């Protein structure tokens, strides 16, 4: 693949990284060796085997912001994060179908709680926008307590009635005595594009989008 413009793809650290690398390999994009050496290397911008194509590895919740503000032309990130920020500067052309899971509402399975009868519900989540929207659509008041990790502990500590979080196998919920009350939506990783890059580097951007589409569809 020949790329004429400088293109940067922002990818998240963490569990989905292996799936992303496999997808990139399927379109003949391979990062330099340093990309895989997390413990030894603090580098954040990496070369690939394709001239002018670079990868940057950042925190999951930073991917949309970096793409929206033009730090990267592309990003790969969960639809949960994209929807939480809802940047106008971002266009999401493809669901890559990676890292599939569900966003759910859950509660302590030993505690009775009727959402319809409660006047206000305290919910812990790292997704305050999604949580607020979900309860607003039900016509219910919610107090959202934002946590960035260990969401499942919140009901046990008495700081929330319920949680909104991502679930794949449900093992973590079970180990923390929680049960799913309702599924909010399905989540998977999407390819996101900076709208300015789409205009100024249209040939290269569309070429890359086409490659991803052929692998996914």
- Three-state helix/strand/coil letters over the chain: CCCCCCEEEEEECCCCHHHHHHHHHHCCCCECHHHHCCCCCCCCEEEECCCCEEEEEECHHHHHHHHHCCCCCEEEEEHHHHHHHCCCCEEEEEEEEEEEEEEEEEEECCCCCCCCCCCEEEEEECCHHHHHHHHHHCCCEEEEEECCCCHHHHHHHCCCCEEEEEECCCHHHHHCCEEEEEEEEEEEEEEEEEHHHHHHCHHHHHHHHHHHHHHHC
Residue 62 lies in a domain: yes
> Same domain for 133 and 163?
yes
> Same domain for 150 and 73?
no
> Same domain for 156 and 183?
yes
Residue 2 lies in a domain: no
Rounded to an integer, the average pLDDT of 64-70 is: 97
> Same domain for 62 and 106?
no
Cβ atoms within 10 A of the Cβ of 37, count?
11
Residues 6+ apart with CB under 8 A from 16: 78, 98, 99, 189
- Rounded Cα–Cα distance for residues 123 and 154 (Å): 9
Q: Which of 169, 183, 211 minimizes the C-alpha distance to 15?
A: 169
- Rounded Cα–Cα distance for residues 199 and 195 (Å): 7
> Same domain for 21 and 91?
yes
Residue 173 lies in a domain: yes
> Is the predicted pLDDT of residue 36 greater than 90, yes or no?
no
> Same domain for 81 and 139?
no
Residue 1 lies in a domain: no
> Same domain for 192 and 140?
no
Rounded to an integer, the average pLDDT of 142-171 is: 94
> Same domain for 86 and 66?
yes
Residue 200 lies in a domain: yes
Enter the pTM of the model. Answer: 0.89
pLDDT per position as a tens digit, 100-144: 999 999 999 988 887 776 778 999 999 999 999 999 998 889 999
> Is the predicted pLDDT of residue 21 greater than 70, yes or no?
yes
Domains held by the chain: number: 2
pLDDT per position as a tens digit, 197-211: 999 999 999 999 999
The CATH number of the domain holding residue 151 is 3.40.190.10
Higher pLDDT, 169 or 14: 169
- Mean pLDDT in the chain? 92
> Same domain for 36 and 70?
yes
> Same domain for 76 and 155?
no
Which residue segment(s) compose the domain that 88 sits in?
7-100+188-216
> Same domain for 111 and 89?
no
> Same domain for 92 and 157?
no
């Amino acid at each position: 693949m020949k790329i004429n413009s400088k293109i940067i793809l922002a990818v998240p650290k963490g569990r989905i990284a292996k799936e992303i690398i496999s997808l990139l390999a399927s379109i003949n994009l391979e990062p330099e060796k340093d990309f895989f050496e997390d413990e030894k290397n603090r580098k954040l911008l990496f070369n690939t085997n394709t001239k002018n194509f670079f990868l940057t590895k950042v925190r999951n919740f930073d991917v949309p912001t970096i793409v929206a503000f033009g730090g990267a032309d592309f990003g790969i990130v969960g639809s949960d994060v994209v929807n939480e920020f809802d940047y106008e500067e971002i266009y999401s052309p493809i669901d890559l179908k990676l890292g599939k899971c569900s966003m759910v509402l859950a509660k302590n399975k030993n505690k009775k709680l009727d959402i319809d009868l409660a006047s206000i519900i305290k919910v812990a989540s790292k997704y305050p926008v999604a949580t607020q929207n979900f309860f607003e659509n039900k016509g219910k008041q919610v107090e959202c307590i934002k946590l960035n990790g260990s969401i499942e502990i919140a009901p046990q500590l008495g700081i929330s009635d319920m949680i909104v979080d991502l679930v794949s196998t449900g093992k973590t919920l079970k180990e923390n005595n929680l049960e799913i009350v309702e599924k909010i939506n399905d989540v998977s990783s999407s390819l996101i594009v900076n709208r300015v890059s789409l205009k100024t580097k249209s040939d290269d951007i569309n070429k890359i989008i086409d490659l991803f589409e052929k692998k996914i569809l």
